[in-house]
Every structure is written in structure tokens, then in C-alpha cells.
Structure 1
Amino acid sequence: MTAHPRTRKSLAAATAATAALALAAGCASKTEDSSDAGDKDKKVFTVGYSQANNAEPYRAQLNKQLEYFAKKYDNLKLLPIADAKQDNARQVSQVQNFIQQKVDVLIVSPNEPDPLTPAVEQACQSKIPVIILDRDVKTDCYSSFIGGDNYQIGKQAGEAAVKALPDGGSVGEIRGLLSTDPQKQRHKGFMDALKGHDDIKVVEQREGKWLQPEGTKIMQQWLARGTKIDLVYAHNDPMAIGAQSAAAGAGAKGKDIKFIGIDGLAIPDGGIRAVQQGKLIGTYLYPTGAEEAAKTASELAAGKKVEKKQTLDTVEITKDNAEDIYKQYDMSQKVD
């Protein structure tokens, strides 16, 4: 990151401010806004964000929302978002690059926890406040974790499956990336909800890596080998929509299968619209956390204390409330 020229006097003032901030909150150095040189008190803090995979609709929407909400804070400058493309080595490199740039706040949505943990600890040791967004890491050396309650979402999905199969039935589960905590919690919650309902069996389980084409392929394989499936529980909407598309293309073999997803994005090809169109019987809002992340970054940059863990609420989305939920969360006029 290229520094702007400063006078010796302003440099001394900035250095003093940096020292005070570091003592107060362990933050990295402040950067003076060169576009407002007349305002000596106005500071702009750089924010680096490493995203796990921009190709996932949920994460693409998260990026748009974070860019939108970051602009609400005069003290933040969000650097171009780094896309790890589901590549752990790439993401570690991105985080290390942000550390070398001495960003004032670092946001990370880990692709997988184990590989990213040392990089997050490195940022922490460099006195850079770190926000972990959506997926956890195996260290508590960060400033704040922001994410949904994946266990509760999985449990609600399981309860919905029980209601959808009053006479029992067979379930196929398309799981996310197996090493990630959201996948583990969504699976555990779902299975716990099925306890005591011995007439409902999970007969198929596959890793879909959060990707719609994987959902399509997995469903095609299940149907091709004649597995009887009454309901598919997918750990996100793209995989559920992909599976539903495969079932719809299979004619009679797939026409009675029900589908449940997670994410509930208010976008034209998202889960809420899929519920309205009858492709899914339900989905669950998994908030992006972008608004909370921008607010937390601003507070951290200013040396304020923040909550160590911020758990975001979910909403069950069915045909009864899908239209209202879409209107409530539609940000198309803001983020496009």
C-alpha cells in the first residue's frame, strides 16, 4: 500500500495517534485521509477482506452488501475484496498480503478453518483487529465473530422435514464443505430434529461443496441408481435448487420429491424466489452479516470495544411469508 506524503509535523501527530490507539485497542496504524488534508482530525482506516469464494451467490451478495455498508462509515476504506476461490493456499496468501499492507482491520470468511487459523493468529500478533465472518477458525485470537446459528437453522430444517413427511419417508442430504463448521452444525441440528422419528431415514448423504452444479450432479446420480427419496435437505439454496432442477428433468421419478434449502437470499435466482415458485418447500434466512461487519470494523478502527461473538437471527421462509421477506431484505436498488 503506497503511503501519501506528509509533513514532519503531521507525521508526528499521526504517530502519536497511532501509539494511543494501539494501547487502547491493539489496532494497527491509522492512515490520514489525503483527500481531506484540511481536516487534521479526520482519519480513514483501511479494511481488507478475504472472501472464501465469490462464485457462491450468498458470498457474492455478501460482497455487494459489505461494499454498500462500508460506505456508510466515513472512517472506513474497504480495499478490493480478495477472492480465495475455495483455495486455502490462495486465501492464506491473501491474508498475509493484507498483514504486510498493515491494514487497520482485517475481515476473513475462511474457506476452511484449519489452514486459515495460523494466518489469523499472525494478524492478531501483528495487532490487527480481525473480524471472522460466517465460518469459524480454531483460535480465539480475533476481535469478533459474526455469523448465524447454524445448529438452530439445521434443527428447524429437520422439524420442517418431519412436518413434510407425516407418514415417514427417505431423505437425501446434500452437505456443504465437510470441513466447515456451518456444515457440521447444519447436519447436527437436522439429525437431532429427526430423533424419535424412526419412520424418517436419511438414506443418502453427499458433500456438495456449496455449489449448485454439485447439487444437480448428486441428484442425478441418486435418481440414476434408483434410490427412493422423498425429501432433499441441502445445506444451501443453490445446492437445493440444483437438485430440484435435476429432479424436474427426471420426469415421474423426481416429480414428488420435496426440497429444503438454506440462505434465503432476496435475489431473482435465490431461495426466496424458489419457494415462491414452488421449487422449494422452505428455506431459512442466513444473514450475510455485512451490515454488522461494517459497523464492527468502524468501531474497532476507532478503538471501541466490540462483542466477541455476534449471533444473527434466522427466519423460516415458506410460501406464506416469502413475498414479505423478499421485500424486507431486497437490496437490489442499493447494491446493484
Structure 2
Amino acid sequence: MRRSVKIATAGVALFGLIALAGCTTDPSVAPPTTEESEAPAETSEWFDQALFDKQFAERDVTPQGPADEPYLQHINAEMVDTSGFASAGAKKACFANASISNPWRQTGWITMNQQLKVLQEAGAISEMETRDAQDSDDTQIADIDYFIAEGNCDVFLISPNSTAAMTPAVERACATGKPVVVFDRGVNTDCQVTFIHPIGGFAWGIDTAEFLIDNLKEGDKVVALRILPGVDVLEHRWAGAKKLFDEAGIEAVDYFTGADPAEIKSIISDELAKGDVQGIWMDAGDGAVAAIEAFEDAGADYPVMTGEDEMSFLRKWKDTGLTGLAPVYSNFQWRTPLLAAQMIFAGQEVPKEWVLPQKPITKDELDDYLAANEGMPDGHYAKFGGENLPGYPEVWQKRQIP
């Protein structure tokens, strides 16, 4: 049954974690079969030199905004005038969400709803009516059209299920004259007031590849574990990393895994049977523990490895002492759309493209993030950015999802 929730009156319930990718992915793309996993698609069609260069540079830009509020920071922003939307009184937000079908999205959804409570108490947002598309383009299109037809939305918040399919529906929302805020994944239009996202997939690929290259030598072998094909942010992660591996003379072989721990272990075991594997690269951290366990099962030395800021990887990284890096796709972005709506109705300028910081967790920071997130479940994301919200830490520890 699909979910349609008026958050202003909805209760909370315990929602079990599922073993899917802990990142922003397009679940409408079916997981590959074992045969497909042995023959990944070429990365050249996904490589964009201009976007690679843009994100390469943005990693070193000092963000503008409050130092202790990364969800309000922005990089190289072109600010837009929102005075035409200025209006007094609490506003109704209508949120068309792609899904909460993986731990990354669940963590963000919890944070978003705690941010909502703050804005309700401040009299900025009256309620947030949410429709969950459960990973379906058709459902999300219907959701957006429902909100338009309902006619009771003051602002549209949209986290698209996929890019091209959602573009016409987003444009229809824009045509109402109400402000539209798009976040996480993009669409092929700029009609929205602001598009909110971390730096991007190429930045992830650059950070991770540079780390592996710095800790390996020419001729070493890296096994790349990829969760799904055809998802732009994931394909960009690999396309960026592969470019740098090739230039550095690192032998890199990639497999699609569907984030299946058994498949991950099988791939690693087969590669270890062929010879030494010095590095593991992942486009999402889910399944990282299974990859490490495959080395343990084989009695092999731990690899140099990149995972993600999901707690399961951070804890295994600490326990094993391996050489690791945790890239992030900043989960705190789930706070920003509601805060953007507040700013828009106050007539404050907002970035047209709101690029949020995206900084990996390094070895020197590992203990601090483990301590700060003690008691959080394995599916929690360390850089969730909700420490100053009501309900912290219990709501996130109990995975109380509206």
C-alpha cells in the first residue's frame, strides 16, 4: 500500500531497515543478474569533462554560510531574488518523495521531519503533506499532479525518482506560480526556485580514487563494487574514479553487486583466487562489511578501502584498523528544502543551484564520528546533521519514521 501522510498529524512508527544501497539511487533500475555483474557497461558515455572539472574544483572551495550549520552552506552560489514569494503566515508544504526504501533515505526522512517540527513551532510551516512514490516514476508523477489539482500547496518540495521522467511534472508544478524546491536528484529544467544537492558523483569518484592511488602503487589491483547500473550519480562516481585509476596505472575491475552481501563475497573470493587484491572501491557503503569479511575468510591482508559514512562501515573500519576513507553524499541535505521554503516566504535570497559541501571522513576524524554517533544503528549515516534538532539522539536511534 502506498503512503500518503499528513505529517502535521501523523504519528511515528518503527520502520525496519532494509539491505539496499545506503545512498541516493534510482531504485526503478532493476538489480543486475550475476551474468550482468560480470560485464559492466562502458563508462565513457557517462564521463563529462566539464562536470568533472567543475566538481573537482568545488571540493576545494570554502563554503559560504554558518560554520556549524553545513545544511545552510553553499558553494559558488548564484543567488536569486525571492521577494515575489514573500508572504506572512505559516505555509503548507507538499512533498513528493521518491521513496524511503533504503537506509540513506530513511535517515534523511527522520531528520527532515524533526526539522519540520522546529519550523512548525516557529510558525513558518503549518504542515507537510507527503506522498511517497515507493520508487515508481508513474506514482510520483501522479503524486505531483494530485498536489497541483488539490490546489492547497503553498510550496512544492520534490525529490525526483528519476531525472527525465519527472521533468514534465516538475514543470507543471512550476506553472502553478507556487515556489518549487527540488533536491537530491535533479531534473532537466531550471524552472524551480532552487535545486539543492551535494557537490556530486564526480567529486565522490575523485576523492576515493585519489585516496586509493595515494596508498597503492602502479600495477596494484582494485576491485570496484557497484550497486546499480544506469543511475547518473553512481555512474559519475565510477566514471570519475576510473579516469584517475587509468591515468595512475592502477588495474581496476568493476562488478555490479545489487548490494547483495553474498554476491560481494563471491566476487571478492573469486578475485583473491586469481591473485592479490590491494584495494576495494565502492560507489556506496552498503555491503562494505561483507567485502571486508571476504578478505578475513580468505586469510588475506586487508585492502586499502573506500566505503561510506554508514555506521556499519565506520565500525568495521575501526575494528580492523584497515587503511580507509568514508566518502559522503551529505545526508544533511534533507533539512535544507524546508529551510529554503522558510527563506523563500521571508523574501530572502537563495542559491539557484544550492551546492552543499561534501567532505569525506578521514582516519583522523573516525573516532570523533564514532563517538558522536554511539548508539546509532548500523544503517545510520554519520554526517546526518541533525544533532541540534529535537528528539536527538533517541529518534534516530529508534529509527522512528513517520
Cα 1:133–1:227 change in 2 (3 A) is farther
Indicate if the aligned counterparts of 1:48 and 1:105 stay in contact, CA closer than 8 A. yes
Given the alignment, which residue of 99, 116, 120 partners 2:170?
A: 120
Given the alignment, which residue of 229, 242, 250 partners 1:178?
A: 229
Residue equivalent to 1:307 = 351
Deviation string 1:234-270 (CA, Å, 9 cap, x unpaired) is 212114344445x25x7117663443123x24xxx44
- Local SS of the residue matching 1:126: coil
Indicate if the aligned counterparts of 1:104 and 1:301 stay in contact, CA closer than 8 A. no
Residue equivalent to 1:321 = 365
Residues in 2 aligned to 1:234 and 1:133: alpha-carbon distance in whole angstroms: 24
Identity %: 22
Indicate if the aligned counterparts of 1:133 and 1:147 stay in contact, CA closer than 8 A. yes
Taking only aligned residues, the RMSD between alpha carbons, in angstroms, comes to 3.1
Cα 1:158–1:272 change in 2 (3 A) is same
Report whether the alignment pairs 1:187 with 2:238: yes
Residues in 2 aligned to 1:128 and 1:270: alpha-carbon distance in whole angstroms: 41
Given the alignment, which residue of 132, 135, 139 partners 2:185?
A: 135
Given the alignment, which residue of 283, 287, 296 partners 1:235?
A: 283
- Local SS of the residue matching 2:192: coil
Aligned AA (1:137): V
Cα 1:299–1:88 change in 2 (3 A) is same
Structure 2: 5+ residue stretches without partners: 7-81, 373-382, 397-402
Shift of 1:176: 4.7
Residue equivalent to 1:104 = 154
Report whether the alignment pairs 1:276 with 2:324: no
- Local SS of the residue matching 2:241: helix
Given the alignment, which residue of 204, 207, 211 partners 1:160?
A: 211
Deviates more, 1:137-146 or 1:74-83: 74-83
Matches within 5 A, 1:283-298: 283-288=326-331, 289-298=333-342
Indicate if the aligned counterparts of 1:233 and 1:259 stay in contact, CA closer than 8 A. yes
Indicate if the aligned counterparts of 2:112 and 2:334 stay in contact, CA closer than 8 A. yes
Report whether the alignment pairs 1:66 with 2:112: yes
Given the alignment, which residue of 89, 99, 102 partners 1:53?
A: 99
Residues in 2 aligned to 1:111 and 1:242: alpha-carbon distance in whole angstroms: 28
Shift of 1:295: 1.2
Deviates more, 1:315-324 or 1:173-182: 173-182
Residue equivalent to 1:333 = 393
Aligned AA (2:365): N
Residue equivalent to 1:76 = 125
What is the TM-score with the length of structure 1 in the denominator? 0.75
Cα 1:330–1:299 change in 2 (3 A) is closer
Residue equivalent to 1:94 = 143
Residue equivalent to 1:13 = none
Aligned AA (1:273): R
- Across the two proteins, how many residue pairs are aligned to each other? 292
Indicate if the aligned counterparts of 2:193 and 2:352 stay in contact, CA closer than 8 A. yes
Cα 1:49–1:207 change in 2 (3 A) is farther
Indicate if the aligned counterparts of 2:223 and 2:279 stay in contact, CA closer than 8 A. yes
Structure 1: 5+ residue stretches without partners: 3-22, 31-40
What is the TM-score with the length of structure 2 in the denominator? 0.64
Indicate if the aligned counterparts of 1:178 and 1:207 stay in contact, CA closer than 8 A. no
- Local SS of the residue matching 2:286: helix
